[in-house]
Chains A and B, each alone.
Chain A
Amino acid sequence: MFNILKEPLMMHRRGGGGGGTTTPPPTTGGGRTFSYLTAPTSLTASMNSSLTMADGASLSTWVFSNGGGFNGDRSVPGPVVEANQGQNVQVTLNIGMMSSPHTIHFHGLDVNQQNDGVPATSFEVSGSYTYNFTAPHAGTYMYHCHVDTHQHFEMGMYGTVIIRPSDGSTTRAWNNGPTFDKEYLWHAMTFDSTWHSGGGGMGGMGGMGGGADPSSLVRYRPDYFTINGRDGANAQTDSTVAISAGAGQKVLIRVQGVGYQPAVVRLGGLSFEVIASDGRPLPNPINTTSQLVCAGERYDLLLTMPSSGQYTATMDYYDIRNSGVLGTATTTITVV
Chain B
Amino acid sequence: MKRRDFLKAGTAGSAFALSGLTTLVPRLAMAATVNVNLVAEGAYKTMADGVSLFTWQFRDTGGTGPGALTSGLVVQEGDSVNVTVTNNVDRSIRFSMDGVSMSTTSSVSPGSSRTYSFTAPAAGTYMYTDNRNGEIGRAMGLAGPMVVMPADGSSRLYNGGPNFDRQYTLVMSDFDDRLNSAVENGQSYNMANYEPNYYFANGLAYPDTASDSDTLITMGVGEDVAIRFVNAGAITYPMHFHGYHVNVATRNRSPETAVISKDTVQVERDECVDIILPVAQSGIFPLHTHYVPGVTANGNYPNGGLILMSAA
Q: Which residues from chain A sit less than 8 Å from chain B, CB to CB?
A: 1-2, 4-6, 8-9, 105, 107-108, 110-113, 116, 118, 120-121, 148-151, 153-154, 212-221, 257, 260, 262, 277-280, 282-284, 292, 294-297, 320-323
B contacts with A, residue count (CB < 8 A): 50
B290/A257 in contact, CB under 8 A? yes
21 contacts between A and B (CB under 8 A): A8-B210, A107-B240, A113-B243, A113-B285, A116-B242, A118-B242, A149-B301, A150-B301, A154-B292, A212-B301, A214-B49, A257-B238, A257-B290, A284-B257, A294-B238, A294-B266, A296-B264, A296-B290, A297-B264, A321-B234, A322-B268
Q: How far is the CA of A213 from the CA of B261 in the complex (A)?
A: 37
Interface string of B210-251 (1 = CB under 8 A from A): 110000100000000000000000111010101111000000
A321/B238 in contact, CB under 8 A? no
Residue of B258, B269, B284, B310 touching A284 (CB-CB under 8 A): B258
CB-CB < 8 A to A221: which residues of B?
195
Interface string of B39-62 (1 = CB under 8 A from A): 000000000010000000000000
| Residues in B242-287 with C-beta less than 8 Å from chain A | 242-245, 257-264, 266, 268-269, 280-281, 283-286
A214/B298 in contact, CB under 8 A? yes
A295/B291 in contact, CB under 8 A? yes
Interface of B is mostly: loop
A1/B299 in contact, CB under 8 A? no
B261/A278 in contact, CB under 8 A? yes
- B295 in contact (CB, < 8 A): yes
Known contacts A110-B245, A214-B300: A260-B258 contact under CB 8 Å = no
CB-CB < 8 A to A257: which residues of B?
238, 264, 290
Residue of A150, A216, A279 touching B293 (CB-CB under 8 A): A150
Residue of A107, A277, A278, A320 touching B235 (CB-CB under 8 A): A320
Residue of B234, B262, B281 touching A277 (CB-CB under 8 A): B262
CB-CB < 8 A to B286: which residues of A?
118, 120-121
- B164 in contact (CB, < 8 A): no
Q: How far is the CA of A112 from the CA of B301 in the complex (A)?
A: 23
B210/A214 in contact, CB under 8 A? no
A277/B195 in contact, CB under 8 A? no
A62 CB to nearest chain B CB (Å): 15
Q: Which residue of B lies closest to A295 (CB)?
A: B290
B195/A280 in contact, CB under 8 A? no
A8/B206 in contact, CB under 8 A? yes
Q: Which residue of A lies closest to B261 (CB)?
A: A280
Q: Which 5 A-B pairs have the closest CB atoms?
A: A296-B290, A214-B299, A113-B283, A294-B238, A295-B290
Q: How far is the CA of A280 from the CA of B295 in the complex (A)?
A: 26
Q: How far is the CA of A56 from the CA of B302 in the complex (A)?
A: 34
Q: Which of A2, A107, A320, A322 has the most CB of B within 10 A?
A: A320
Known contacts A214-B300, A218-B197, A257-B238: A295-B292 contact under CB 8 Å = yes
B195 CB to nearest chain A CB (Å): 5
Q: A116-B242, A322-B268 are in contact. List 11 more A-B contacts (CB 8 A).
A: A1-B310, A8-B206, A116-B243, A216-B299, A217-B296, A218-B293, A219-B195, A277-B262, A295-B264, A297-B238, A322-B269
CB-CB < 8 A to B284: which residues of A?
1, 4-5, 113, 121
